[in-house]
Copies of this chain bind each other. A is one copy, B any other.
Amino acid sequence: MKYDQLKLENQLCFPVYAASRLITREYQPYLDELEITYPQYLVLMILWEKDEMPVNDIAKKLILNTNTITPLLKRMETQGLVNRERSKEDERKVIVKLTEIGNELKEKAVLIPERLASQLLEGPMGVEELIRLKEDLGKIINHLLRK
């Protein structure tokens, strides 16, 4: 059939798109407990690893534009999770850092990856396959970023 490549099932794009939403959905109940959203969780993970980062560094790590990250960070500031203040050295930069509350969330969040991992492992894929999947996606991400 001439248009076979236009079938949804034959494309890589759709599974990536669908899996992304389904995985986010899977996080939802755990994130609800902490009263944060999935992108907020990603920001927190970055800051837990290295506190005090300029907006742009966070955007780069998450591969997001500043017009996405700025309102996100503002909402997080309103919720009392982070502080935002201009850098003294370079006044173009806004340094984002965790509040006490943001820092304390780490203790509760530490269980989330374990729970997710065990949920995924209930499925047909083993640890090695999931790691390979992660690495394969990493290859695609690097390839697309390189251009």
Contact = CB atoms under 8 A, between A and B. Distances in A.
A70 interface: no
Contacts of A71: none
A22 B11 CA distance: 15
B140 A120 contact: yes
Interface stretch (A45-53, A72-80, A81-89, A90-98): A45-53
A16 B23 CA distance: 9
Interface in A19-70: 19-27, 38, 42, 45-46, 48-49, 61-64
A14 B45 CA distance: 11
Q: Interface on chain A toward B: helix, strand, loop, or mixed SS?
A: helix
Contacts of A129: 136
A23 B13 contact: yes
Interface string A92-136: 000000000000001001100110110010111100011011101
Contacts of A16: 16, 19-20, 23, 137
Interface string A2-24: 11011110111111111111111
Interface of A: 2-3, 5-8, 10-27, 38, 42, 45-46, 48-49, 61-64, 106, 109-110, 113-114, 116-117, 120, 122-125, 129-130, 132-134, 136-145
